[in-house]
Amino acid sequence: MKVCLAGHKVQGPGHVLSRRQFIKGSAAVCGAVAAPVIIPASALGRGGAVAPSERIVMAGIGLGGRGTADLSSWVLPDPQAQFVAICDVRRERREAIKAMTDRKYGNTDCKTYVDMMEVLARPDIDAILTATGDRLHATVSILSMRAGKDVYTEKPASMTVAEGQAVVCAAKQYGRVYQAGMQRLSEANFIVCNELLRLGRLGEVKTVYAHLAPWGNVNMERKWLPEEPLPGADEVDWDRWLGPCPWRPYNKSYVQGGWRHHHDFYTSVIGEWGSHTFGQCQAALGLSDTSPVRYPYVPTPTADGMEMPFANGVTMIQKQEGWRGTCGVRYVGSEGWAACADGYARPEVSNPALLADYNKILQDYITRTGHVVGHMQDFFKCVKNRALAVANPVTMHRSMTTVHCANIAQWLKRDMTWDPVKEEFVNDEQANRLLSRAAREGWQIV
């Protein structure tokens, strides 16, 4: 046995631990049996002032535009949380997040990191906020949970079915709280729509519509962007940026959001909003722990109109139009319909009477489920009481499975049947090949 004896330099997250051990001696990081010295944030919220020892200590990993919005509108203003560190492979982002945080807290305490393993090794950190590109959401989440951190991750939170399964497994195994950024599950209007369906106010619901982004294609770009000179690792650590994905030459456009629409980094037009709207529909139907069973190929570049039935006969239909705002859902029942999208003052309903007791419906939901309105609030509450968050790993994984299955049906241009129990396609060996992807050397994390 010569495991762990040498700090051989290898790419990827695996090597960091061995290097740290090599430098500091294994007991410092991993050998300790004794209880951690720092007591993590706990106790129920008391409203108003929160003692420093009760705050949830958070760090960010990969915060771009969306991550900045999460941080500035939900984390920094919240007295329950204390944001202490930013890890990003781009210097520009590290500096921007540090500046924003320090300005808010009036100090210079926010630490910066390039290597996420270093930030995850800090025992004082309770929770991670991550909003990298899609390709790394699951990797960062799993490594964070393995390090004992709770995780709020942006969506789409898995690149493949296998990745989603690994997230579910890690959260369970390490007993961590996980919230995927499907924030409409915590918005009043959408909650009320879901409750209208659940309470039977719409009659028997056989059809639900999930909004599909009105841009992009299912078949994504396979062509690389032209090679540009690679900046220093301090400016952009390109190798870490790529993570488990296939290597390709650097082009600054990728790191500035241009990774979208590239096959290796993106879950297509379907994943863009399906990662929200499928989850919303499935939650409304009480089908968050399964996925549709059939994915009929639609001969369009976007899968617009794909009708996906669940095993119980309810059909979820992907639609690019039909709402005035983004990320809409529409539930059509025998006695009425309800619809909602971003920007609606109130849900749209077939009869205004459906909304007469809007507040009561909302409060009943809160009492029944213990969830609250406000997605980060729900996460914080669960971090404190260890309950399952509303967008827990299963909810994320099963709705992302719907995304992946629909993508695969479109890529292979044929109708697919999915077995949600075995989590595999029925009688389609080729489709089953697409349920996982090989990671680069050193990036295997499960």
Binding residues among 210-249 for another protein as defined by CB under 8 A: 219, 221-224, 246-249
> Measured between alpha carbons, how far is 22 from 44 in angstroms, rounded to an integer?
40
Give residues 5-24 in contact with another protein (rule: CB under 8 A). Answer: 5-8, 10-11, 14-15, 17-18
Give residues 256-285 in contact with another protein (rule: CB under 8 A). Answer: none
**Whose CA is closest to 127, among 431, 429, 378?**
378
Contact segment (CB under 8 A) with another protein among 55-63, 68-76, 347-355, 395-403 equals: 347-355
Smallest distance from the beta carbon of 67 to another protein, in angstroms?
25
Q: Could you tell me how many residues of this chain bind another protein (CB under 8 A)? A: 94
**Whose CA is closest to 137, among 119, 116, 114?**
116
**Are β-strands 416-419 and 294-295 bridged in parallel, bridged antiparallel, or unpaired?**
antiparallel
Q: How far are the Cα atoms of 14, 93, 116 from residue 98, in angstroms, in the given order?
A: 27, 8, 16
388 binds another protein (CB under 8 A): yes
Q: Which of 53, 334, 363, 427 binds another protein (CB under 8 A)?
A: 363
Residue closer to another protein by CB (options 76, 434) is 434
Contact segment (CB under 8 A) with another protein among 130-138, 280-288, 385-393, 415-423 equals: 385-393
List, in sequence order, every beta strand (DSSP E) within 335-404: 336-340, 348-349
Smallest distance from the beta carbon of 403 to another protein, in angstroms?
17
What does the per-residue mask of binding to another protein show for 397-416, with x meaning CB under 8 A? --------------xx----
Smallest distance from the beta carbon of 416 to another protein, in angstroms?
14
> Measured between alpha carbons, how far is 310 from 333 in angstroms, rounded to an integer?
16
321 binds another protein (CB under 8 A): yes
> Measured between alpha carbons, how far is 208 from 285 in angstroms, rounded to an integer?
9
Q: Which of 96, 114, 230, 446 binds another protein (CB under 8 A)?
A: 446
Residue closer to another protein by CB (options 97, 269) is 269
Give residues 144-173 in contact with another protein (rule: CB under 8 A). Answer: 146-148, 169, 172-173
Smallest distance from the beta carbon of 181 to another protein, in angstroms?
22
Asked whether the bond before 13 is cis by omega within 30 degrees of 0, the reply is: no
Give residues 171-210 in contact with another protein (rule: CB under 8 A). Answer: 172-175, 209
Q: Which of 48, 229, 299, 313 binds another protein (CB under 8 A)?
A: 48
First to last CA, the chain: 22
How many residues make up the chain in this entry?
Answer: 446
List, in sequence order, every beta strand (DSSP E) within 23-135: 56-63, 81-87, 111-113, 127-131
> Measured between alpha carbons, how far is 151 from 170 in angstroms, rounded to an integer?
11
Residue 321 class from Cβ within 10 Å (0-12 exposed, 13-18 middle, 19+ buried)?
Answer: exposed
Residue closer to another protein by CB (options 46, 103) is 46
Q: Which residues pair with 336 in a beta bridge?
A: 333
User: Which residue, chain included where needed, has tokens 């369970």?
Assistant: 172
Smallest distance from the beta carbon of 17 to another protein, in angstroms?
8
Residue closer to another protein by CB (options 15, 91) is 15
